[in-house]
Homo-oligomer: A and B are copies of this chain.
Amino acid sequence: MRAELITIGDELLLGQVVNTNASYIGRELGTLGIPLVRETTVGDDRAAILAEFRRAWKSADVVIVTGGLGPTHDDISKSAVATFFRAKLLLHQPTLAAVKERFKTLGYEKMPEANIGQAMVPEGFRALKNERGTAPGLLLHKQDKTFVILPGVPPEMEAIIQSGVLPFLKKTYKKRLLFIRHRTLLTTGIGESTLAEKVGDPKQFLHEGMTLAFLPRASGVRMRITCHAKTASAATRELALVERILRERAGNYIFGEEGESLEALVVKLLTEQHKTVATAESCTGGLISSMLTGVPGASAVYFGSIIAYQNKVKESALGVRRQTLERFGAVSEETAREMAEGALARLGTDFALSVTGIAGPNGGTPEKPVSTIWLALAERGARTITQVLHADYGRTANRERAAAVALGMLQKRLA
A: residues with CB less than 8 A from B are 10-20, 22-28, 30, 35-44, 48, 70-75, 106, 108, 112-115, 132-134, 153-155, 158-159, 182, 184, 191-194, 196-197, 201-203, 211-218, 224, 226, 278-279, 281, 283-290, 292-294, 296, 298-299, 302-310, 312-313, 316-317, 346-348, 361-362, 391-397, 399
Contact = CB atoms under 8 A, between A and B. Distances in A.
Nearest to A71: B193
A19 B18 contact: yes
B310 A307 contact: no
Contacts of A290: 284-287, 289-290
A22 B24 contact: no
A22 B308 CA distance: 34
> Chain copies in the assembly?
2
Contacts of A132: 392-393
Nearest to A133: B216
B213 A74 contact: yes
Contact of A303 (B75, B158, B309): B309
A390 B182 CA distance: 38
B310 A304 contact: yes
A319 to B, nearest CB: 12
A245 B231 CA distance: 61
Q: Which of A284, A305, A394 has the most CB atoms of chain B within a 10 A radius of its CB?
A: A305
B15 A24 contact: yes
A58 to B, nearest CB: 14
Contact of A15 (B28, B72, B159): B28
A41 B3 CA distance: 13
A197 B348 CA distance: 55
A123 B150 CA distance: 45
Contacts of A16: 23, 27, 182, 184, 215, 224
A358 to B, nearest CB: 11
Contacts of A313: 278, 303-304, 347
Nearest to A285: B293
A299 B37 CA distance: 45
Contacts of A285: 286, 289-290, 292-294, 298
Contact of A310 (B154, B218, B283, B303): B303
B211 A44 contact: yes
What are the 4 tightest A-B residue pairs by CB atom distance, in nearest-first order? A285-B293, A15-B27, A286-B286, A286-B289
Contact of A307 (B215, B286, B362, B395): B286
Contact of A70 (B48, B214, B317): B214
Contact of A37 (B13, B25, B304): B13
Given A290-B286, A303-B313, A309-B299, A70 B395 contact: no
Contacts of A304: 306-310, 313, 317
Nearest to A118: B193
B115 A193 contact: yes
Contacts of A296: 361-362, 395
B154 A397 contact: yes
Contacts of A24: 15
B48 A43 contact: no
A182 B14 contact: yes
Given A293-B307, A316-B348, 15 more contacts: A15-B30, A16-B23, A16-B184, A18-B23, A73-B212, A112-B191, A114-B196, A114-B197, A134-B193, A294-B395, A294-B396, A304-B317, A312-B348, A316-B347, A317-B317
A42 to B, nearest CB: 6
A213 B11 CA distance: 9
A72 B192 contact: yes
B30 A23 contact: no
B27 A393 contact: no
